[in-house]
Amino acid sequence: MLKIGVAGAYGAFGLKHLDALANIEHADVTTVFGPNKDKITALASERNIAHACSDYEDFLSQDVDAVILSTPTQLHCAQSIQAMRAGKHTFAEIPMADSLNDAEQMAAVQKETGVVGMVGHVRRFNPSHQWVKQRIDEGAFTLQQMDAQTYFFRRTNTNAKGEPRSWTDHLLWHHACHTIDLFIYQTGEIPSEIFGFQGPAHPELGIAMDMTIGLKTASGKLCTLSLSFNNDGPFGSFFRYIGDSGTYIARYDDLMDGNENPIDLTSVAVSNNGIELIDREFISAIMEKREPNSSFAQGLAVMRVMQQLEDQMGVLKV
């Protein structure tokens, strides 16, 4: 059994990781961390978890083999480096950082310490995208264009649970990161042509609420990405794969063809939950002493593209 600590455990994605880890036979969550002592203590009691910490150094001092960081983006770099230097295998939620410089530091410390370092690019693991990837690898499908829409209605600073957030989310450094990494992963190519446009800044949040991004690889594969915090409707990310032998529409863990006919994904993976599948990969990589799919080193490719986009657009960040 691997002893796991989850940081940011009472947040929207911390809870998703706790649910996922409960289904993994080699994982034992022994410690949780959150800055609100009352909330983290109540969560530990509710989930029968032995230790609850409201101090990060106390969290790292616990007897755990690995940590999952579902904490604010701006903390990922410092917290990951501290965890790796404490000898803990480290999983940082997407994005691994909000600058290329910070991401490069994380990858360097992973190499220095030799622990497993992994970033939560969950789209690589959703069964819908895995099914498409398998067809690409078999030579049965050649991607010509990926069209993605990432839409939320977030004119106030709230999280995925609709609760007030202590930090500000970002269209480029979080939500675009999912799609850009997926495009690189599915094509096996780094975009050679990149453009981005951002809309006006929100008067209170200080970030652009709308964004358009375009990517092109050297072989001519295209990605178009529309993002908004202003969309009043179903929220989430939706992908259309257009290729030489078909069109596929992916909505999280579900997949349809271009005419909205469902595609059976039951044989793709042991679970239809992308969070569980990515946590399984983290645990397997630790036990097998290998580099995981979506390692910190692999994550640098998307971070370089996003840094180019920030430099080009003059992205607004708080």
pLDDT at 159 over 60: no
In terms of domains, do 98 and 76 share one? yes
Say if 215 falls within a structural domain: yes
Question: What is the domain range of residue 63?
Answer: 2-121+275-292
Report the CATH number at residue 209.
3.30.360.10
Is there a domain that residue 318 lies in? no
Whether 66 and 164 map to the same domain: the answer is: no
**pLDDT-derived band of residue 162, with 50, 70 and 90 as boundaries?**
low
Does residue 222 sit in the same domain as residue 280? no
Residue type, 259: N
- How many structural domains compose the chain? 2
H/E element, 230: none
Report the CATH number that the domain containing residue 117 is assigned in CATH: 3.40.50.720
Instruction: Provide the pLDDT for residue 207.
Output: 83
34 and 109 together in one domain: yes
> What is the pLDDT at residue 36?
96
CA gap 100, 180 in Å, rounded:
14
Does residue 136 contact residue 264 with C-beta atoms inside 8 Å? Answer: no
Q: What percent of the chain has pLDDT over 90?
A: 85
Whether 243 maps to a domain, the answer reads yes
pLDDT at 37: 97
Kindly state whether residues 111 and 236 are assigned to the same domain: no
Helix or strand holding residue 218 (H, E)? none
Q: Is residue 297 part of a domain?
A: no
Tens of pLDDT, residue by residue over 62-112, are 999 999 999 999 999 999 999 999 999 999 999 999 999 999 999 999 999
Same domain, 96 and 80: yes
User: Over 70: is that where the pLDDT of 316 sits?
Assistant: no
Give the tokens for residue 110: 């992973």
289 alpha-carbon distance from chain centroid = 22
- Residue 1 to residue 24: CA distance in whole angstroms: 10
Contact (CB, 8 A) for 251 and 262 = no
With a cut of 70, say whether residue 163 has pLDDT above it.
no
Residues 241 and 280 occupy one common structural domain: no
pTM for the complete prediction? 0.93
Q: Is residue 187 part of a domain?
A: yes
* Mean pLDDT of the 137-156 span: 91
Mean pLDDT of 26-32: 97
Could you report the per-residue pLDDT of 297-308, keeping only the tens digit for each?
A: 999 999 999 999
Residues 97 and 136 in one domain: no
Q: What's 263's DSSP letter?
A: -
92 and 227 together in one domain: no
| Sheet architecture: strand order including 2-7 | 51-53, 27-33, 2-7, 66-69, 89-93, 117-120
130 and 260, same structural domain?
Answer: yes
Check pLDDT > 70 for residue 161: no
Q: What's the CA angle centered on 292, arms 286 and 297, to 5 degrees?
A: 120
- In this structure, the answer to whether residues 267 and 280 fall within a common structural domain is no
| pLDDT tens by residue, 243-298 | 999 999 999 889 999 999 999 999 999 999 999 999 999 999 999 999 999 999 99
Q: Which amino acid is at 280?
A: R
For residue 3, give the 3-state DSSP assignment. strand
Confidence at residue 170, expressed as pLDDT on a 0 to 100 scale: 82
pLDDT at 167 over 80: no
CB atoms within 10 A of CB 202: 19
Give strand pairing partners of 195. 214
Written in H, E and C, the secondary structure of 167-215 is CCCCHHHHHHHHHHHHHHHHHCCCCCEEEEEECCECCCCCCECEEEEEE
Identity of the amino acid at 302:
V
CA-CA distance, 237 to 177, in Å (whole number)? 12
Within this chain, do residues 137 and 267 fall inside the same structural domain, yes or no?
yes
pLDDT digits (tens, 9 = 90+) for 201-253: 888 877 889 999 999 999 999 999 999 999 998 888 999 999 999 999 999 88
Q: Which ranges in the chain belong to alpha helices (H)?
A: 12-21, 37-47, 56-61, 76-85, 100-113, 127-138, 177-187, 274-288, 296-313
Average pLDDT, the chain: 94
